[in-house]
């Protein structure tokens, strides 16, 4: 896992490589183990490295031979290619220069051109300079597990793993795009290519961009999900196939030359991963769990403890307290430069720090399980007709009914509506269509952004076996009744766990994961509402007195309070440039 950045000039002149130094500092947390630089013709690139595979010879840039006239192909990448062993076997005629998992990318590109990504099994963003074609090629994995952003200026094209690198280098001015701000406050994340920063754009999941002369010349897209509706398969056949596929997926996701572990919530998804890791590892699996003692939310540690004990895992628990919340939240908001107001960023950040302290550089996590195996209640509501209580997903926005906004947000649902319009293609069921909508935007722009930023802030790599392409192809085309049965989501996973890890009690009604931000805010200093209301980012869109009343309303308004608090801290750091090293009250009061 790493960070990458680079630029291509519009007029063909050599880039000013000093810009890379500023970007390297901004994303240095992503790659504490070294830096590599590249400059040739009109392109300059760099990588900061978190060494996971091939610790000795895997430094980047990586090269593949070119011709005497044009020079070599060059690559910088952020991610892991899990099928690198198999690719090397298939390309046994290649004289590899390293043992890196990423070197095969160059030879795939040389052989298959822009179709090279079809052969990759992994999570990645990457940049290839092809001097012979005068092209800079950027690509992102189909689920958008790893991030990549770009900007267009009069003098050229720039890219980086995080928006804050483009801001720190002075390539983009820190400002807020009003439509994206409204979408963030409505949904807790933003959709599509545009980000909340004007002039900074996302490379979309599965997208490959071809840049020539500092301008995007071509785009191709690799789909994350297979076409077609559900396939017929019996529950017995599906259980057998799932066992085979998930075992193989977790196995390749464990490929690492450094210590690895996993995040264990005690829920269905993480219990599946632990059960498979127990099967594959001869030594105890290192599992980490977070809990919230002394609050009104369900504490998952006791159940996770039972599951870990049944698997013989080395289990570590952390407590996330109200003091942690007030002390750490500014730093957490600072790492979420592409903002996601998901309160799970709080335990995710603290679990990542614990993983680093415990000597882990890689953790496996359960993101994607709910989306692919239909775990959310909104999927079950989506299946029902309106007269039976069905309703479309995200039919209302977070601040609705609070009275804090000066103007009602317009167009906050446009991105979701666009995804919905495409979701029902290929004969998909209503359930599949709902899954497609979440996988298009919620997954990459909320859950995976949260995982990436919180872990990379501590130099830890997160891996998500449920988003392996073989798992995804299998899961997405399961019959609806193997995903949802008798009002219970993730039925197939639960049925598999009933045999593989009965101690997980998979059919016991589980409480949804939550973080007690409402309780903490209600218990907090009475100054908080005034400090949030006075923030320039909040004052631009909200009535200050209404904000103060909202924060005085108690924990039942917790989600709205949390959303405004997060946005105020995010704005303070990423737009106003404030230091994030103090407490919530110190940062907002500065």
pLDDT of residue 511: 65
pLDDT of residue 362: 98
pLDDT of residue 192: 97
Q: Is 80 exceeded by the pLDDT of residue 217?
A: yes
pLDDT > 90 in the chain, percent: 89
pLDDT of residue 381: 80
Model confidence band, residue 67 (pLDDT cutoffs 50, 70, 90)? low
Report residue 363: phi and psi, to 5°. Answer: -130, 140
Domain with CATH 3.40.50.620 in the chain: 235-504
Average pLDDT over residues 199-208: 98
pLDDT of residue 525: 85
Strand-strand pairing, 461-463 and 362-364: parallel
Condensed to tens digits (0 to 9), the pLDDT of residues 294-340 reads: 887 778 888 999 999 999 999 999 999 999 999 999 999 999 999 99
Is there a contact between 196 and 176 (Cβ–Cβ < 8 Å)?
yes
User: Hunting for tokens 């509506």 — which residue is that?
Assistant: 417
Model confidence band, residue 424 (pLDDT cutoffs 50, 70, 90)? confident
pLDDT of residue 386: 52
Report residue 79: phi and psi, to 5°. Answer: 145, -165
Average pLDDT over residues 207-232: 96
Instruction: Sheet containing 43-49: give its strands across.
Output: 35-40, 43-49, 2-9, 156-160, 149-153, 201-202
Model confidence band, residue 512 (pLDDT cutoffs 50, 70, 90)? low
Instruction: With CA atoms as reference, report the closest residue to 524 among 322, 342, 341.
Output: 322
Question: Pseudo-torsion of CA 237, 274, 51, 46, nearest 10°?
Answer: 60
Class of residue 245 by CB neighbours under 10 A (exposed 0-12, middle 13-18, buried 19+) = middle
Class of residue 169 by CB neighbours under 10 A (exposed 0-12, middle 13-18, buried 19+) = buried
> What fold does the segment set 235-504 form as a domain?
Rossmann fold (3.40.50)
- Average model confidence (pLDDT) for the chain? 94
Average pLDDT over residues 162-180: 96
Six-digit token string for 386? 């309106």
CA–CA gap between residue 278 and residue 503 (Å, rounded): 14
pLDDT of residue 385: 56
Average pLDDT over residues 234-249: 98
Average pLDDT over residues 423-448: 94
Average pLDDT over residues 286-295: 92
Architecture of domain 2-221: 4-Layer Sandwich (3.60)
Q: Is 90 exceeded by the pLDDT of residue 191?
A: yes
pTM of the model: 0.96
Q: Is 70 exceeded by the pLDDT of residue 387?
A: no
pLDDT of residue 392: 79
Domain with CATH 3.60.20.10 in the chain: 2-221
Q: Lowest mean pLDDT of 111-120, 296-305, 323-332, 366-375, name the range.
A: 296-305
Q: Is 70 exceeded by the pLDDT of residue 391?
A: no
Average pLDDT over residues 467-476: 98
Q: Lowest mean pLDDT of 22-31, 310-319, 505-514, name the range.
A: 505-514
């Amino acid at each position: 896992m790493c960070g990458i950045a680079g630029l291509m000039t519009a007029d063909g002149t050599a880039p000013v490589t000093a810009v890379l130094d500023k970007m390297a500092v901004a994303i240095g947390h992503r790659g504490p183990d070294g830096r590599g630089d590249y400059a040739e013709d009109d392109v300059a690139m760099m990588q900061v490295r978190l060494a996971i595979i091939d610790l000795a010879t895997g430094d980047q840039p990586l090269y593949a031979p070119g011709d005497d006239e044009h020079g070599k192909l060059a690559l910088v990448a952020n991610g892991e290619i899990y099928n690198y062993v198999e690719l090397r076997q298939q390309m046994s005629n290649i004289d590899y220069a390293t043992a890196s998992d990423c070197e095969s990318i160059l030879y795939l590109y040389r052989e298959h051109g822009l179709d090279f990504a079809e052969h990759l099994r992994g999570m990645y963003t990457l940049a290839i300079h092809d001097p012979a074609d005068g092209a800079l090629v950027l690509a992102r994995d189909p689920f958008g597990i790893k991030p990549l952003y770009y900007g267009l200026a009069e003098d050229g094209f720039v890219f980086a793993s995080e928006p804050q690198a483009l801001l720190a280098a002075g390539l983009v001015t820190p400002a807020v795009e009003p439509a994206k701000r409204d979408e963030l406050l409505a949904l807790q994340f933003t959709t599509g290519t545009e980000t909340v920063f004007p002039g900074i754009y996302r490379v979309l999941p599965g997208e490959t961009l071809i840049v020539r002369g500092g301008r995007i010349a071509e785009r191709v897209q690799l789909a994350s999900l297979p076409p077609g509706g559900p396939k017929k398969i019996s529950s017995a056949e599906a259980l057998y196939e799932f066992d085979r596929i998930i075992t193989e997926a977790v196995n390749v996701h464990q490929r690492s030359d450094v210590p690895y572990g996993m995040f264990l919530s005690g829920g269905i998804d993480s219990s599946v991963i632990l059960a498979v890791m127990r099967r594959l590892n001869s030594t105890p699996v290192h599992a980490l769990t977070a809990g919230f003692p002394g609050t009104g939310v369900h504490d998952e540690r006791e159940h996770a403890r039972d599951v870990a004990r049944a698997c013989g895992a080395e289990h570590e628990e952390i407590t996330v307290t109200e003091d942690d919340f007030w002390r750490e939240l500014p730093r957490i908001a600072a790492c979420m430069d592409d903002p996601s107001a998901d309160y799970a960023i709080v335990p995710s950040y603290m679990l990542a720090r614990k993983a680093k302290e415990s000597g882990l550089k890689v953790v496996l996590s359960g993101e994607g399980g709910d989306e692919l195996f239909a775990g959310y209640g909104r999927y079950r509501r989506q299946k029902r007709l309106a007269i039976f209580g069905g309703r479309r997903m995200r039919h209302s926005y977070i601040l609705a009914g609070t009275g804090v906004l000066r103007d009602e947000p317009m167009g906050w649902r446009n991105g979701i509506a666009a995804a919905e319009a495409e979701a029902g293609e290929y004969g998909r069921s209503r359930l599949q269509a709902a899954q497609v909508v979440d996988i298009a935007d919620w997954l990459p722009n909320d859950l995976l952004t949260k995982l990436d930023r919180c872990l990379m802030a501590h130099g830890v790599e997160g891996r998500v076996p449920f988003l392996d392409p073989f798992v995804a192809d299998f899961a997405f085309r399961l019959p609806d009744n193997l995903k949802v049965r008798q009002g219970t989501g993730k039925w197939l996973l639960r049925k598999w766990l009933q045999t593989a890890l009965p101690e997980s009690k998979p059919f016991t009604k589980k409480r949804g994961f939550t973080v007690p931000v409402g309780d903490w805010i209600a218990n907090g200093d009475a100054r908080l509402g005034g400090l949030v209301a006075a923030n320039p980012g909040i004052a631009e869109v909200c009535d200050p007195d209404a904000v103060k009343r909202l924060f005085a309303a108690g924990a039942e308004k917790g989600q709205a309070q949390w959303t405004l608090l997060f946005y105020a801290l995010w704005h303070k750091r990423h737009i106003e440039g404030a230091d994030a090293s103090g407490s919530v009250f110190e940062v907002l009061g500065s």
